[in-house]
């Protein structure tokens, strides 16, 4: 709607999205703008599909009702298996969800009433006014009026939202994550103090591989941003039909006070479907063994010649790759061309001697609910499905697959985005611990 802004705070909107398990809400009707008129409500909200009413009263309660059915002023009950009443804010902190007794009378779609839940359990816009009619006892929902709205039937505001992407969020997240500033600090500390367990390897070298435009360079930029405290873009990133990254680049991450971390990201050219285009996978053995120098210009049709002047002839363990990260664009997993899938599978096989992590990027494009806040990433059905599908396509267990959102349009960093990025880095450190231990060199180093 053009006039009037949602009164829901981001925090409450998030709780509501979780209660509804939907992707997004679109404000249709706002009583203080459109008036407390039943006819206006029906004129605006009929035929809109699933909707949620959110009411605000002077006692500070935020509460309402949801129906998955469309209003149409039919004069009939709407049979609705998904309807419920709820409270987002009240005396108690936790949200409250109240189910119906009978789905066949979940909502009454009478033209002379506003949103009417149950058999008159809760009627909004009652008598074309800012009043709510409440009858918790004889009606189709059982609740205590004090719990639902503090026995305050007068409204300060009544909003109706169209509910989009119903069922987009899972009831239980795939993984539990603490989304706090403290957790961000904890992860940063863990990464800052990390040292590979071998004395001969001062820095962990992580090779970033993946399809063109998947977000390899952006991933380095984003991790670097988390440590710098602002959105940095040292590595060239952008969109093109062919790879933007043409040179092999090794990047160190520094903390805000200039101390380098014990981790080096090695950025590569993007893979393409066609032979003779994008990163030549015959280049992999040299990359893994550490023969390829920084700033090496990739050539899709030829690989680094061992006689080239800058070829690193005798790389030691410290120059080799210790972890491979496959970066996959989450919004393109379903349409991954067969030949590219085959290339990725080949990479998985050819890099089997070092630990492998798969990072699914662009979760904000996979699920629009994550664009503003990624903390529901493990509740997003679409993201979890893309993770599972990637695992199936590439033959990689789910525990080696993590989602991230890279910084792309933002100019300030955010705790939730950082936490996801830092968790991906921590996973690399964890995977390589066992790898270093298993090396024959490990003893005495």
CA–CA separation, 263 vs 359, rounded Å? Answer: 17
Q: Which residue is nearest to ligand GTP (CB)?
A: 270
- Measured from the CB atom, the residue of 121 and 266 that comes closer to Mg ion is 266
Indicate which of Mg ion, ligand GTP, none lies near residue 214 (CB less than 5 to 8 Å, by partner kind). ligand GTP
Give residues in contact with ligand GTP (CB under 6 A).
210, 212-218, 237-239, 243-245, 270, 361-362, 364-365, 405-406, 408
Q: At 320, give phi and psi (nearest 5°).
A: -80, 170
Q: Minimum CB separation from Mg ion for residue 359, in Å? A: 14
- Measured from the CB atom, the residue of 83 and 231 that comes closer to ligand GTP is 231
Q: Minimum CB separation from Mg ion for residue 246, in Å? A: 9
- Measured from the CB atom, the residue of 239 and 297 that comes closer to ligand GTP is 239
Q: Minimum CB separation from ligand GTP for residue 287, in Å? A: 15
427: enclosing H helix or E strand: helix 415-438
Q: Minimum CB separation from Mg ion for residue 199, in Å? A: 33
Query: Minimal CA–CA distance to 429: which of 246, 181, 261, 255?
Result: 261
CA–CA separation, 383 vs 434, rounded Å? Answer: 28
Q: Minimum CB separation from ligand GTP for residue 402, in Å? A: 13
Enumerate helices (H) and strands (E) in the chain, giving the number of each.
Answer: 11, 17
| Helical ranges in 206-316 per DSSP H | 216-228, 284-289
Give residues in contact with Mg ion (CB under 5 A).
216-217, 245
- Measured from the CB atom, the residue of 218 and 225 that comes closer to ligand GTP is 218
- Measured from the CB atom, the residue of 243 and 280 that comes closer to ligand GTP is 243
- Measured from the CB atom, the residue of 139 and 223 that comes closer to ligand GTP is 223
Q: At 361, give phi and psi (nearest 5°).
A: -100, 180
Burial class, 204, CB count within 10 angstroms (exposed 0-12 / middle 13-18 / buried 19+): buried
- Measured from the CB atom, the residue of 244 and 439 that comes closer to ligand GTP is 244
Q: What is the DSSP string of 152-221?
A: --BEEEEEEEEEESTT-B-SS-SS----SHHHHHHHHHHHHT---S-TT--SEEEEEEEBTTSSHHHHHH
Give, in order, the Cα–Cα distances in Å from 239 to each of 84, 213, 359, 413.
Answer: 44, 6, 19, 21
Indicate which of Mg ion, ligand GTP, none lies near residue 146 (CB less than 5 to 8 Å, by partner kind). none
Q: Minimum CB separation from ligand GTP for residue 369, in Å? A: 14
Count CB atoms within 10 A of the CB of residue 369: 28
Q: Measured in whole angstroms, how far is the alpha carbon of residue 128 from the centre of its chain?
A: 41
- Measured from the CB atom, the residue of 30 and 332 that comes closer to ligand GTP is 332
Look up residue 99 and give its two tokens: 């189910």
Indicate which of ligand GTP, Mg ion, none lies near residue 362 (CB less than 5 to 8 Å, by partner kind). ligand GTP
Helix (H, G, I), strand (E, B) or coil at 2: coil
Q: At 175, give phi and psi (nearest 5°).
A: -135, 145
Give, in order, the Cα–Cα distances in Å from 146 to each of 61, 90, 228, 438.
Answer: 10, 9, 49, 62
- Measured from the CB atom, the residue of 49 and 238 that comes closer to ligand GTP is 238
Q: Minimum CB separation from Mg ion for residue 270, in Å? A: 6
Look up residue 107 and give its two tokens: 């909502």
């Amino acid at each position: 709607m053009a006039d009037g802004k949602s009164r829901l705070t981001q925090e409450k909107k998030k709780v509501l999205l979780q209660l509804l398990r939907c992707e997004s809400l679109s404000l249709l009707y706002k009583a203080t703008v459109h008036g407390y008129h039943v006819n206006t409500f029906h004129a605006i909200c009929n035929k809109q599909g699933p909707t949620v009413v959110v009411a605000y009263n002077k006692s500070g309660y935020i509460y309402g009702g949801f129906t998955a059915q469309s209003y149409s002023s039919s004069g009939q009950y709407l049979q609705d298996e998904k309807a419920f009443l709820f409270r987002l804010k009240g005396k108690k902190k936790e949200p409250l969800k109240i189910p119906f007794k009978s789905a066949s009378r979940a909502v009454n779609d009478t033209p002379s009433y506003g949103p009417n839940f149950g058999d008159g359990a809760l009627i909004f816009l009652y008598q074309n006014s800012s009043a709510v009619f409440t009858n918790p006892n004889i009606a189709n929902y059982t609740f205590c009026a004090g719990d639902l709205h503090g026995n305050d039937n007068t409204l300060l505001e009544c909003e109706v939202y169209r509910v989009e992407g119903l069922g987009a969020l899972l009831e239980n997240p795939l993984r539990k994550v603490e989304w706090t500033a403290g957790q961000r600090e904890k992860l940063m500390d863990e990464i800052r103090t990390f040292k590979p367990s071998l004395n001969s390897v001062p820095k962990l070298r992580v090779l970033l591989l993946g399809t063109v435009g998947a977000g390899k360079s952006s991933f380095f930029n984003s991790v670097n941003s988390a440590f710098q405290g602002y959105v940095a873009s040292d590595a060239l990133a952008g969109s093109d039909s062919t790879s933007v990254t043409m040179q092999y680049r090794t990047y160190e991450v520094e903390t805000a006070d200039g101390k380098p971390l014990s981790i080096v990201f090695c950025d590569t050219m993007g893979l393409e479907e066609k032979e003779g285009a994008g990163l030549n996978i015959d280049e992999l053995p040299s990359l893994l063994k550490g023969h390829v120098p920084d700033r090496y210009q990739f050539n899709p049709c030829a690989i680094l010649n061992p006689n080239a002047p800058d070829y690193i002839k005798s790389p030691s363990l410290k120059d080799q790759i210790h972890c491979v990260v496959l970066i996959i664009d989450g919004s393109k997993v379903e349409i991954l061309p067969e030949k590219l899938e085959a290339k990725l599978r080949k990479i998985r096989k050819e890099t089997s001697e070092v630990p492998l992590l798969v990072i699914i990027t662009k979760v904000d494009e996979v699920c629009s609910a994550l664009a503003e806040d990624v903390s529901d990433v493990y509740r997003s059905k679409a993201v979890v499905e893309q993770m599972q599908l990637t695992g199936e396509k590439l033959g990689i267990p789910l525990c080696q697959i993590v989602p991230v959102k890279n910084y792309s349009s933002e100019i300030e960093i955010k705790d939730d985005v950082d936490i996801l990025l830092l968790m991906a880095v921590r996973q690399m450190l964890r995977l390589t611990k066992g790898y270093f231990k298993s090396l024959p060199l490990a003893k005495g180093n």
